[in-house]
Amino acid sequence: MTIRQLPDTLINQIAAGEVVERPASVVKELVENALDAGARRIDIDLEEGGVRLIRVRDDGGGIDASDLPLAVARHATSKIASLDDLEAVATLGFRGEALPSIASVSRFALASRRAGSEHGAVLPVEGGRIGAVAPKPHPPGTTVEVRDLFYNVPARRKFLRAERTELGHIEDWLRSLALARPDVELRVAHNGKPARRYRALGLLDGDARQTAPERLLETLGEEFARNALRIEHVGAGLRLHGWIARPAYNRASADQQYLYVNGRSVRDRSVAHAVKQAYADVLFHGRQPAYVLFLELDPRGVDVNVHPAKHEVRFREARLVHDFVYRTLLEALAETRAGATAAIAE
Stretch that binds ligand ADP, among 55-63, 168-176, 211-219, 319-327 (CB under 6 A): 55-63
* Beta carbon nearer to Mg ion, 96 or 168: 96
Sign of the torsion formed by the C-alpha atoms of 280, 284, 288 and 291: negative
Interface residue with Mg ion among 9, 13, 33, 257 (CB under 5 A) is: 33
CB 336 within 8 A of CB 279: no
Distance of alpha carbon 123 from alpha carbon 132, whole angstroms = 6
Virtual CA dihedral for 327, 330, 336, 342, nearest 10 degrees? -90
Minimum distance from CB of 186 to ligand ADP (Å)? Answer: 14
Minimum distance from CB of 151 to ligand ADP (Å)? Answer: 20
Q: How far is CA 200 from CA 97, 138, 162, 237, 263, in A?
A: 29, 23, 31, 30, 17
Within 8 A by CB and 6+ apart from 116, the residues are none
93 binds Mg ion per the rule CB under 5 A: yes
Distance of alpha carbon 242 from alpha carbon 224, whole angstroms = 13
Minimum distance from CB of 144 to ligand ADP (Å)? Answer: 6
Interface residue with ligand ADP among 43, 45, 58, 59 (CB under 6 A) is: 58
Minimum distance from CB of 62 to ligand ADP (Å)? Answer: 6
Closest to 46 measured CA to CA, from 194, 170, 198, 190: 190
Distance of alpha carbon 268 from alpha carbon 337, whole angstroms = 27
Amino acid 145 reads E
Distance of alpha carbon 174 from alpha carbon 39, whole angstroms = 15
Interface residue with ligand ADP among 9, 142, 210, 257 (CB under 6 A) is: 142
Q: Pick what 250 binds: ligand ADP, Mg ion, none; C-beta below 5 to 8 Å, kind-dependent.
A: none
Minimum distance from CB of 84 to ligand ADP (Å)? Answer: 17
Residue environment code for 59-83, b if the CB has 16+ CB neighbours within 10 A, otherwise e? bbbbbebebbbebbbbeebbbbeee
Stretch that binds Mg ion, among 1-9, 91-99, 199-207, 214-222 (CB under 5 A): 91-99
Q: Pick what 179 binds: ligand ADP, Mg ion, none; C-beta below 5 to 8 Å, kind-dependent.
A: none
Stretch that binds ligand ADP, among 61-69, 166-174, 303-311, 320-328 (CB under 6 A): 61-69
Q: In the chain, which residue ranges form alpha helices assigned H by DSSP?
A: 8-19, 23-36, 68-71, 83-87, 98-104, 154-157, 163-180, 213-220, 222-227, 269-279, 318-345
33 binds ligand ADP per the rule CB under 6 A: yes
* Beta carbon nearer to ligand ADP, 95 or 246: 95
Site for ligand ADP in 73-132 (CB under 6 A): 77-79, 93-99
* Beta carbon nearer to Mg ion, 29 or 163: 29
Interface residue with Mg ion among 65, 73, 89, 98 (CB under 5 A) is: 98
152 binds ligand ADP per the rule CB under 6 A: no
CB 173 within 8 A of CB 24: yes
Minimum distance from CB of 23 to Mg ion (Å)? Answer: 16
Minimum distance from CB of 295 to Mg ion (Å)? Answer: 22
Minimum distance from CB of 95 to ligand ADP (Å)? Answer: 5
- Residues found near ligand ADP in the complex (CB under 6 A): 29, 33-34, 37, 58, 60-63, 71, 77-79, 93-99, 142
- Residues found near Mg ion in the complex (CB under 5 A): 33, 93, 98
